[in-house]
Chains A and B, each alone.
Chain A
Amino acid sequence: MYSRNTEIRHIAAADAYQLAQILEHANSWKKLMAIIPKTFSSPPVRDAPKKYNADEIRLIENASLKQGRTGAEILFDEWGTSGRKRPTVGNLLDLLVEAELLRAADYVAMNFLNEPPPERPANGPAAKIDISLPFETEEIKDVDE
């Protein structure tokens, strides 16, 4: 278990590996890497200057192919040890939510921080679908055409 202030570089390798596997899907780690800001400020500044550019993302992709490691693991190594103020699990979670990488965000919230999953937006593909059966009491209405 970690806290929001735990530095990413202090995440146990096995935990980082699990998260990295999730971030392999649909190259999610690239979406994460692309939005990492140069410096974190709270509240976060809208489109703050980014830390990594497309070339650096490609560098890590090539390294992952050569080393046979996931892009995310290499990203964690690089990003986790960079900058005067090291990035924390809290920074990571906020970025995952911002990028709507919600499977990874839920994993960090529930498994790393023992928090409930982050709030979902009200609409759009990430919005939660209501699965309650409202007509459990009244007669099932015909779904109107």
Chain B
Amino acid sequence: MSSAGNSTTRTSSEPIKDMYLYEIPSPERHALCTILDEMDVWADLAVNHMGYRKEDLQSIRRAIQLGASPTDELLAMWGNLNHTITELFILLYRMQQYGAMDAIRNLVDKKYHRLIMSGQPDLSKL
């Protein structure tokens, strides 16, 4: 699989370059943390979708003990692997986390926005 960066075919109408996760602006980052810290949704994301093993999450447990946001630490770790915001968006879609997807909708290409509308908000987690 040759991966020449994240350049998908660009048409002029697609203003948004696929941003790296470490470039996420703080308002969106904070919104994600608020949503995914709830009910440890971040742990489901980390283990079942990002492929982390339990023992990889040591630094996140330390962050929790220090009162920091586990999601913030998780995003930093995964971002350090040079993942993009669109990759995160797709994982959130697989988890039906439409609220989190909505929080970063402006950071992904318009063509992905219908994924948010494709299901009702996930009320079961409230």
Mark A residues whose CB is within 8 Å of B.
25-26, 28, 100-103, 106, 110, 116-117, 119-120, 123-133, 136, 140, 142-143
- Residue count of chain B within 8 Å CB distance of chain A: 38
Closest to A105 in B: B82
Inter-subunit contact A125/B90 (CB<8 Å): no
Contact between chains at A126 and B77 (CB < 8 Å): no
Interface contacts (Cβ under 8 Å), in number, total: 71
Residues of B within 8 A of A124 (CB): 51
The residue in chain A whose Cβ has the minimal distance to the Cβ of B91 is A129
Tell me how far the C-beta of A129 lies from the nearest C-beta in chain B, rounded to whole angstroms: 4
On whether the beta carbons of A125 and B1 are closer than 8 Å, the reply is no
Q: In the complex, which of the residues A117, A129, A132, A143 contacts B119, with contact meaning CB atoms closer than 8 Å?
A: A143
Q: Is B3 an interface residue (CB 8 A)?
A: yes
A28 to B76 alpha-carbon distance, docked (Å): 12
Chain A interface, DSSP helix/strand/loop, else mixed: loop
A26/B77 contact (C-beta < 8 A), A106-B82, A133-B111, A143-B94 known: yes
User: Is the beta-carbon distance between B81 and A125 smaller than 8 angstroms?
Assistant: yes
In Å, the complex CA distance between A126 and B87 comes to 11
Q: Which of B3, B52, B76 touches A125 (beta carbons < 8 Å)?
A: B52
Tell me how far the C-beta of B116 lies from the nearest C-beta in chain A, rounded to whole angstroms. 12
A-B contacts besides A103-B22, A116-B2, 10 pairs, CB < 8 Å = A26-B59, A26-B76, A102-B82, A103-B81, A117-B82, A123-B51, A125-B77, A131-B89, A136-B111, A143-B119
Are the CB atoms of B96 and A143 closer together than 8 Å?
yes
